[in-house]
Structure 1
Amino acid sequence: MAAVCNESGTIQGEGGAGSATGTDGAVLTAKELIEFIQVFSSTLLGAGGQTTRVDRTACRIARAYGFEVELAIFPKHLMLSVIKPAEGGIPAERRTAVSSIVSGAPNFQRVAALNALSWSIADEGLSLDEARQRFSAICAVPTLNPVLLRFLVACANAAFCGLFNGDLPAMGLVFAATLLGFYLRQKLLHWGLDLKVTFFLCSFAASLLASLGVVLQLGSTPQTAMAASVLFLIPGIPLINAMLDILDGHVLMGVSRLIQASTLIICIALGLATTMLLMGVDSL
C-alpha cells in the first residue's frame, strides 16, 4: 500500500490495505495497534519531532493497517484513538489511550529512522511484528560517544567564537569552557537534576572559566570569549519546533515549547550575569 499526505495533514491511501496481522499472524486488533502507535508517537516526540510530523506519521501507520487514528498532543501527554471503520460510518472497534511523553535529548537520527519506518510500513506492507522488531532496533541504536560529543560541541562553539571575530586565545578559552560546561550538563542530567537548574549551573561554570580571559587580559577579545562560552546551551531545536508548530496550527504545543525554551534562555542569562557580577565585568 502507498500512502500520501495531503495538504491538510491527513493520509490518503492508494491501493489495498497493508498486512493487517498482529501477533502470531492473527487478525490485528485496535488494542494491539494502539499500543504500538502510542509508544511510536511518544518516542518520536521525545526525540525532537515536530507535532505535524508525529500526527502524519501516526495517521500513515494506522491507514496502512486499515484503521483510522485521532490524535491529540499536549505538552506532556498525548491522547489517541484507533478506530476500525465500518459501513454506515459506525466504528466496528475503537480504542483510546493516554500516554506520557518521555522527554529526552534531540536525536534527529532517530527521528529520520522512525519516519522511514512509517513509510516502510505503508509501502512494504510490514506486519505489526515486523514493525515492532524494526522499531526496537531503531531504539537500540546507541547515541554518539559522550567524549566525542563533548569534543565536537567544543569545536563548534570555538568556531562560533571565531565567527564573532574572536582571536585564538578567545577560541581556546571557549573550547575549554564548553568542554567543562557540556561535561557538567551531561553529569547533572544523568543525576536527574532539574533542567532549568542544570542550565543555570552550566552557564555559570562555562562563563566563569571563560572570564579568566577578562581577568588576565588574554588576547584582544576576552569579552567575546565570555559571551560565546554559553552559546552551546541555546535550545535551538525547541525554538524551531515551536515556530513550526505555531505556523502549522498546533498553537498549544508551539506556545508551550516556546515558553520552555524561553525559560531555559533566561536560566542561561542568569548564569552569565552571575559570573559578570562576581568577576566585576561591566559589559560584553
Structure 2
Amino acid sequence: MEDKQRAISRLVAQAGQMLLAHGAESTLVGDIMRRMGIASGADEVEVSLSANSIVVTTFIQERCMTTTRRAPDRGINMRVVTQIQRICIMMEKGVLNYSFAQERLNKISPARYNRWIVVLMIGLSCASFSHLAGGDWSIFAMTFLASATGMIVRQEIGHRHFNPLINFAVTAFVTTLISAQAMILDIGNDPFIAMASSVLMLVPGFPLINSVADMVKGYINIGIARFVMGSLLTLATCLGIVGAMTVVGVWGWVG
C-alpha cells in the first residue's frame, strides 16, 4: 500500500509540476491534480501551490504522504496542458490506471512549431495590425520585416536560455530600430504605425490574463507573482523601445 501511495503521489506531483511550468491556470492545476489522485485510488488529495513550487498530500486509508516539487517556468505550451487533461479523463473513465498514466505522462514532450512558420505568422500578424490601423502596403511590408526579424532575435536569445527580461528588452530594441527606418526614410503614409505595430508580439497577454484569473479565483500569491512578471516583461519591452528611439532620435509616436 505504501508503494502504491508513493507512486500516486509522484504521478499527481509530476502532473501538477508540468501544468504549472507550462502556463496552466492555477485553478486548473489544482483541479487536475485532485481528479488524478482520486481516480488513482486516493481517498483525498490536498494541493498547495506557489509561484514556482507545489506541495501535494495524498490520503489513503488514513495514511498521509506529502511530496514537494519545484516548477520552474518552461514557457507557455498548451499541448502539454491538453495532453495531461486527456490522461486525467482517461483515468476517470477507467481506461488507464496510475501506472499506465505515469508512462503516458513521461512520454509527453513540449513540441514546438517550426521556427520559420512562427516567424512568418508573427510577421503577418503584426503587419496585419498595422494595416488595420490605417497603414498602407509600404507600412505593411516594413512592419513585417521588423517583427519577423525581431522574432528571429527572440528565438535565438531564448534558445541560449537568457533571462526573459533581457530577451524582451533586446528584441524590442532590434524591432524598433528596424521599424524606425520607416520614419527616417519617410516610407509609407504613417511611419509611426510600423513602430507601434511591430512590437505587439511582445505584449505578455497570457501571463497577465492568468494573473487576473488566479487572483479572482483565490490564488492571490500566484496571481500577484504572475502579474509582477508580466509587468516586468512590459517594462523590459518599454526599455528596449526607448533605447532604440534614443539611438535613432525618433520620438513621435510616444508624444
- Show the counterpart of 1:71: 47
Which sits farther off after the overlay, 52-61 or 273-282? Answer: 273-282
Q: Which runs of 5+ in 2 are unaligned?
A: none
CA deviations 1:124-159 (Å, max 9, x no partner) are 25112221232233x236321111111111111111
Q: CA deviation at 1:28?
A: 6.0
* Correspondence 1:203 to 2:178: no
CA deviations 1:233-280 (Å, max 9, x no partner) are 111110110011011111111111001000000111111111111111
For 1:50-199, list aligned pairs within 5 A.
Answer: 50-67=25-42, 68-84=44-60, 86=61, 91=62, 93-137=63-107, 139-140=108-109, 142-199=111-168
Secondary structure of residue in 2 paired with 1:72: strand
Structure 2: distance between partners of 1:181 and 1:124 = 47
Structure 2: distance between partners of 1:146 and 1:179 = 11
Given that 1:34 and 1:95 are in contact with CA atoms closer than 8 Å, whether structure 2 keeps it comes out as yes
Structure 2: distance between partners of 1:42 and 1:166 = 44
* Correspondence 1:49 to 2:24: yes
TM-score by length of 1: 0.85
Structure 2: distance between partners of 1:247 and 1:202 = 32
Q: CA deviation at 1:122?
A: 1.0
* Correspondence 1:39 to 2:8: no
Structure 2: distance between partners of 1:115 and 1:179 = 33
Given that 2:122 and 2:147 are in contact with CA atoms closer than 8 Å, whether structure 1 keeps it comes out as yes
| Aligned pair partner of 1:268 in 222, 234, 237 | 237
Runs of 4+ aligned residues of structure 1 deviating over 4 Å after TM superposition are: none
* Correspondence 1:250 to 2:219: yes
Instruction: Name the structure with the higher helix share.
Output: 2
* Correspondence 1:281 to 2:254: no
Percent identity, aligned pairs only? 23
TM-score by length of 2: 0.94
Given that 1:244 and 1:254 are in contact with CA atoms closer than 8 Å, whether structure 2 keeps it comes out as yes
- Show the counterpart of 2:207: 238
Secondary structure of residue in 2 paired with 1:208: helix
CA deviations 1:212-246 (Å, max 9, x no partner) are 10000000111010011111011111011001101
* Correspondence 1:29 to 2:4: yes
